[in-house]
Structure 1
Amino acid sequence: MNDDHNPLYADACENCPTYDVFPESALRDGAEGIIAGYRCPNCRHVWTCGWRIVPGRAIPPEPTPDSPIFNRHVTARIHEQAAIARARKHLSRPDPDAA
């Protein structure tokens, strides 16, 4: 029996009472995480969510610009959040020259 209660990184829409919205696509955030992009099937609200990768869970596909199944707003949000995460990691590193 699988004890994983969320095998596809589903999330709930904060704009309407829709649960189990599955990500359209995701980008890896380093070796341990992903940033997933969602679009609510009911109200069309778009958002992202960061997740730690769970071994055995299927990771959503990466967005590609020529694929008709990916929404450009979702893809833009994923890339924006991935850039913010990279900047945070880069800026939070201690300065090796500081003493």
Structure 2
Amino acid sequence: MDEEEERVFVAITCTDRGQHRRIRLTTARLHASDRGMGYALEHFAPPMRDAKPGSFIGRDSYVFICPRCGRTPQIKANKWWSLLEAVSAAGQGEFDISLLP
């Protein structure tokens, strides 16, 4: 497998900014033609165009749910993938979702 075909995985965790033990919410898979995340609707909800207003699911944002601290950070889909590309480019294999502003 050459470098263009290499898949990069980033663990998405939560620590409530260091207040609780690390918990893995999902794993992001990055590849030019194939990207996604596992455990949908267990610890995060992907954007869904038909999401009902007031639900925890966003129309254009990923919503993460930490079962330990109850945090539910959201991030727009295009910003999410740009952030993960930067995390991967920095050589990091993990991102703590509680660090989102």
Under TM normalisation by the shorter chain, which class is it? 0.3 to 0.5
Query: Normalising by structure 2, what TM-score?
Result: 0.32
Query: Normalising by structure 1, what TM-score?
Result: 0.32
Larger Rg computed on CA atoms = 1
More strand by share: 2
